[in-house]
Every structure is written in structure tokens, then in C-alpha cells.
Structure 1
Amino acid sequence: MKKMLLGVGVTLSALTLLAGCAGGDSKKDEKGDSKSGKSVDELSIMFVPSKNPDDIVTATEPLGKLMKEEMKKEGYDVKDVKISVGTNYEAVGEALSSGTADVGFGVPGGTYALYQNDTDVLLTATRAGLNKDSENPKDWNDGKPTEATDKQATSYRSLILAGPSAKGKELTEKVNAGEKLTWEDLGSAKWGLASTTSSAGYIYPSLWLNDNVKKNISDIKTTVQNDSYGSGFARLASGQIDVMPVYADARRDFEEAWKTEYGQKDIWNEVSVIGVTPAIYNDAVLVSKNSDKMDDAMREALQKALINMAKTEEGKKVIAVYTHEGYQKATNDDYASEIKAQELIKKASN
């Protein structure tokens, strides 16, 4: 009987030891809390082309390694991080909606509003605030560069810019003289526009037109859709377009290219502000509702990983391509104003 009990005891001890070995993939986080290791074959991240796509690809090349490292700290072993740039904003929204992309990076609120049924907001970007924030366009036209401040901001403005064409100069002169632009002034100009879901390049400028001259962008006679802000500035420089709406610090981002690539002299004197929109909530990081990877635990891990990555020197270099400086947790409700703006656009275009 004693031998039988001894045998049972040895067997139980062996099973306990084996069970402990089987749980060897459990990890400890920095606080010592146990985290179960989870394996992910591939994480697909798609960036919006709000900057030059080649620049985005170059800048984000280290992202795969950084994400693997940060996700490992959150208990996820990500085998491969697939990084791509959408051909336009809608391409990113469609990829997230179909589940072929897991994460959308740098997505404006307007794009989220269009694809809200199939996506969730994970994070909002924070950026350095600017030393100019006036709603009076004349205040932006002092010939001095717009500069960043040390204050972090979660919103920005869209600026309606006029270029060095004859029509662009005509509009600038009226604004700087304190005159109010009319529909005849604006509707006769050639406009370069971003995607229809771009907050800064389409939606808020359309609302600005509605507020100021009771018209919509669809009423403008001559428009060109730019595939990126870079191609838009090239058209503005050559006089192919007279007017282009952009995010508030775009002139700062394209100051050097204005001279070296587009053959002009000084963007601060040759490109002026003729309109300023209300504040727009910053770009978002979205996740797909139709990705089989995106459960609550994965979302939380991604939030923490991206927030922590953005605090590292390498991470700061990666997100600098969008002038992002960090991220904070966000919810779909944060973009309620964007959804309302999108609905107004739809109503105005019907």
C-alpha cells in the first residue's frame, strides 16, 4: 500500500514538473506581472500618403523591428510586420474594412468617418503646437516661417493657400488688404484638392467655403485631385493650380523642396494663406474590426506598444515623417465632430 501511494506521489510530482515546463512561454513584464506569450504570424500596417510615399517608406523602414520589440514586452511574438503605403486615403480605409490591413497609420478623421463601421480608433497623434493659430488669414502672411512650440497639441487647422500664379497673387492681395473674398474670387480659381476623405485637404475647406460664401467644393469649376501634398505643391509652384488647402504646418514641411525641387525662392513670401478653418482633431491610428487578430487584448497591446515606441529615439524618428511627436489613447467618440463634418459634406453635395 505504501509503495502504491509512493508511486502516485512520484507520478503527481512528475506531472506538476511537466506542467511547469509547459508553461515556460509565460513572460514577465517590467512590473513582474505574468503575461502569456501569443504568436502572431503577420501584422499588416498601412500608412496614408499624406507625405511623399517614398519618404514614408524610407522613414518607416525601422518600424518592423521596433514593433516586434515593443509587442514582445506586451506578451506578443510578432513574426513579421508588413508595412505599406496606400495609393490614397480611401485605399487605406478599404484595406482596413476588408481586413487585409490590420492597422492604419496617420489616418485623418475624415477618412475614419467614412469607414467608421469597419474600424476603431486606437490612438490620436500629438504634435508640437504652432506659434500661429489665428483664424484671420492675414496674420499668417508676415513672411516669417511658422514655427513649432514646446506645447503639445491634439488638433490642428487647415489653411487655404494661394500660390505664385497671377490668380493666386490677386487673392493674396485682397486678403492682405483686409478685403473679404467672394465666391467669384474663389470659384474662378484653379484648386488642387486632396482625397475627398482628407480632413485638411477637402472636408474642412469645403465647410469653410460653405461658411464664408455659401458654396461647396463641388461648385468650383476647375479642380485637380493631388495624390499627395508634394505633388500639390509642385502644381502650385508651376502655376497649374492657384489654390490648395493643406494642414497648417505644410509650408514648413515643404520649405526646402519649394526651392530645390520646385524651382522657387521663398515659400513664406510666395505662398500665402487666404483662409483658415476651425480646429481639426489630429490624425488617428485605426484598427480593423474585420481582422481576426484584433481582439481586445491585441488592441490594448498595440496601444501600449505604439505609445512606448514613440518615446524612444528610434521611434521618434519613424513618426517624425508625419510630424507626430507621440500618441495618446483615443476613442471613436473623440472624432464625433469629424463624423458630423462628413455628414454635412454629403448633404451639401446632394
Structure 2
Amino acid sequence: MSKNAKTLAGIVIVIIVAIAAYFGFTHTGSKAASDKTIKDLKVYFVPSTQPDKIVTMTAPMKTLLKDELKKEGYDVKKVDIKVGTSYEAAGEALSSGTADIGFIPGGTYVMYQDGAKVLLTATRAALNKDSSDAAKWNDGKATELTNGQSSKYRSLFIAGPSAKGQALAKKVNAGEKLTWEDLNSAKWGLSSTTSSAGYIYPSLWLNKNYNKTVSNLKNTVTLDSYGSGMARLASGQIDVMPAYGDARVNFAKMWTTDYKQPKSIWEETNVIGVSQEIYNDTISVSKKSKVMTPEFEKALSKAFINLAKTKEGKKVIAVYSHEGYEPAKSSNYDGERAAQKLLKSSQK
């Protein structure tokens, strides 16, 4: 090969290497950039209160979450918020990957844990009452929120103003133990089968005290939300409704306005049973989500924790009475697993 040919060959090689290096660098760089860019982040909420209220109250999250994730280095183009038609719908959306993030109860998380991963546990304002003795909730005074925070709550079995509801409450307040016949003769309003407060923990309580579960109750109706359940309780369509501990706090105003009851919710309702402690709702993510990586999960956790500390963020998460978030452990929800195991065995 001549000297000129060698020189030309050397120049060509240098050019090829330079071009390869350039495109390799830009390709890698664009890939890294795309990993930090998310076109559409889908968030699902469960319908534990009126769906239209959830849609309205959570609308600002679209911007707030994008802003917080931007601080963590992620450019989210769109946050899409939906309210599932049921708890199961939200769980199934996470399992299938059609939802990236779900605000779901512990029971729903456990039911769909093969497709969902728990990131955070919500904290709520602690109540000024926290007794396993039902009668101690029935002093006629309002249950109040305190300045303290709690990652746990209880399910309360609330008896309404119907004749049967009042009869059950009278026995409890007199210190008498309710019989299975007492409970089975009442009409119960139950939430979704994956609702911790509205279905799962009431089953644990019935099993512990009567060797039964809610599936043994002969007269039940399924509620689509706690709001509709409270309306039925007020009107006497149902006698008993299990609900989260501060449900009466949330519906106290509606009791006399929307439901047009003559007396306050504290005068017309009583607690006839109290569950063991339950870990609060979760923020869970889909294991099948195309955008969910370990790095993004860390950024997402930090974003929600910080969002909950802002004035605007607090207004959004107040839809579920959440006040903050803390890192969750899967083992926190072993109580849910025990309950669901019980429910499955009782259905065989």
C-alpha cells in the first residue's frame, strides 16, 4: 500500500470512529433523557367517597405531582387521574399495568399484590377516641381529630337510627354482649370485598367473637361508597354499616343537611363493634407499569411525601383524610393477608 493510500485509510478510520462515537454518545444521551421523560402517568383512586368529589379535589394533583417530580429530575408531560368504578377495578388496573399508581386500601393492595407493590402508607390525624370497647365511643359527643398523626385506624360497626339499629345499640351501651342472632337479624351495608374497614376486618371481628364472617350474615347489601352507605343508614334502609374510624366526622354535616336527619350523627348513631387496628391506605404502584423503575419509585415516594407537606397538596389528599405519607413495608399488611385467608377458607 502506498504512503498516500495508508494516509487516506487512516483518515477514513478516524472519521468512522468519530462518527460512531458521536452517534453512540447521542444515542445513549437521548436514551438517558427519555428515561427521565414520562409522557403519561396514570393515577387511579378508589371510590371510597363520592367519585365526583374525588375528581374535583384531586384535579390539582396533575400539576402538583409534575412539579414535585421535576425537582427529582423527571419530566412528566401528563398526569391522568381516574376513579375506579370499584376497589377491584383500581386493583385490576394496577395488575394489568393500565394504571401506574393507585391510592388503594391495604386490603386491595394485598388482594392484588402479585401485580402491585406498596410504596407508602398514609398518615391521618389521630382521633380523641381509640378504644376496642364499642360503648366508649357512644357518649353522644363528637369524635374529634387531634394534632397527632397515626398510620393506623379501626373499623367501627355503626348502628343507625332504625329500630333494629337502636335496639342493638341499647344492648351494647348497657354492657350486654350482642349475640350472633342479634347481629344476623340486622340488615348490613357492606363495602367492596377488598375494603379493609368495610368488609375484611369486620370479618376478622366476627370470626374472633362468633366464629363467623360477613359471608354468614343473611341480610346484606353492597355499597358503592361510604357516602351512599351513610345515606342508607340515615334513612333506615340498613341498620348497621362498618366504616373507617373517622367516617362519622367526615359525614357529620351531611347527616343533617343532605340526609335531612333531625338530630346530629352523634345522637342518632352508635358503635356496636370495633375491629383491631388496621394500617392506613397505601400508595401502591404497578409491577407491570412501563414507566416504573426502582429509581422512579424512589423519586415518586419522595415526591408524594413532599407534596403532602404543601398547603395545596394537603387540600388534595384531604379527600381521603390523608395528612401525610411514610415509607411502607409489605409486612405491615400481614393482618390483611390473615383476613383474606380467613375469607377464602370460609367460602369453601
Q: Same fold (TM over 0.5)?
A: yes
| TM-score, length basis structure 2 | 0.90
Q: Note the alpha carbon deviations across 1:22-61, whole angstroms, 9 max, x for none.
A: 9999x9xxxxxxx997110100000011111111111101
4+ aligned runs moved over 3 Å, structure 1? 16-25
Contact 1:197 1:203 (C-alpha < 8 Å) held by counterparts: yes
Shift in Å, 1:214:
1.7
Match of 2:155 in 1: 158
The higher radius of gyration belongs to 2
Match of 2:321 in 1: 323
1:318, 1:20 → 2: CA distance? 42
One-letter amino acid of the counterpart of residue 47, structure 2: P
Match of 2:227 in 1: 230
Match of 2:306 in 1: 308
The alignment status of 1:273 with 2:274, answered yes or no, reads: no
Contact 2:203 2:339 (C-alpha < 8 Å) held by counterparts: no
Shift in Å, 1:294:
0.9
User: SS of 2:273's equivalent?
Assistant: strand
Match of 1:167 in 2: 164
Q: Note the alpha carbon deviations across 1:59-117, whole angstroms, 9 max, x for none.
A: 10100000110111111110100000011100000100110000001x11111111011
2:332, 2:176 → 1: CA distance? 36
Aligned residues: 333
1:52, 1:335 → 2: CA distance? 26
Q: State which of 49, 52, 60 in structure 2 corresponds to 1:51.
A: 49
Shift in Å, 1:21:
10
Match of 2:190 in 1: 193
Match of 2:296 in 1: 298
Match of 2:209 in 1: 212
One-letter amino acid of the counterpart of residue 37, structure 2: S
Shift in Å, 1:266:
0.6
Comparing 191-200 with 145-154, greater Cα deviation is found at 145-154
Contact 2:134 2:172 (C-alpha < 8 Å) held by counterparts: yes
The alignment status of 1:115 with 2:112, answered yes or no, reads: yes
The alignment status of 1:145 with 2:142, answered yes or no, reads: yes
Contact 1:235 1:241 (C-alpha < 8 Å) held by counterparts: yes
Please, which runs of 5 or more residues in structure 2 have no aligned partner? 1-6, 16-20
Contact 2:126 2:145 (C-alpha < 8 Å) held by counterparts: yes
Shift in Å, 1:211:
1.2
1:274, 1:336 → 2: CA distance? 26
Contact 1:97 1:115 (C-alpha < 8 Å) held by counterparts: yes
2:330, 2:290 → 1: CA distance? 20
Q: State which of 319, 341, 344 in structure 1 corresponds to 2:342.
A: 344
Shift in Å, 1:257:
0.8
Match of 1:30 in 2: none
Q: State which of 246, 255, 262 in structure 2 corresponds to 1:249.
A: 246
User: SS of 1:240's equivalent?
Assistant: coil
| TM-score, length basis structure 1 | 0.90
Shift in Å, 1:349:
2.4
2:147, 2:251 → 1: CA distance? 21
Contact 1:216 1:349 (C-alpha < 8 Å) held by counterparts: no
Comparing 298-307 with 35-44, greater Cα deviation is found at 35-44
Instruction: Give me the CA root mean square deviation.
Output: 2.4
Q: 1:76 to 1:131 in 2, by over 3 A?
A: same
Shift in Å, 1:212:
1.4
Contact 1:37 1:77 (C-alpha < 8 Å) held by counterparts: no
Contact 1:194 1:201 (C-alpha < 8 Å) held by counterparts: yes
Match of 2:4 in 1: none
User: SS of 1:59's equivalent?
Assistant: helix
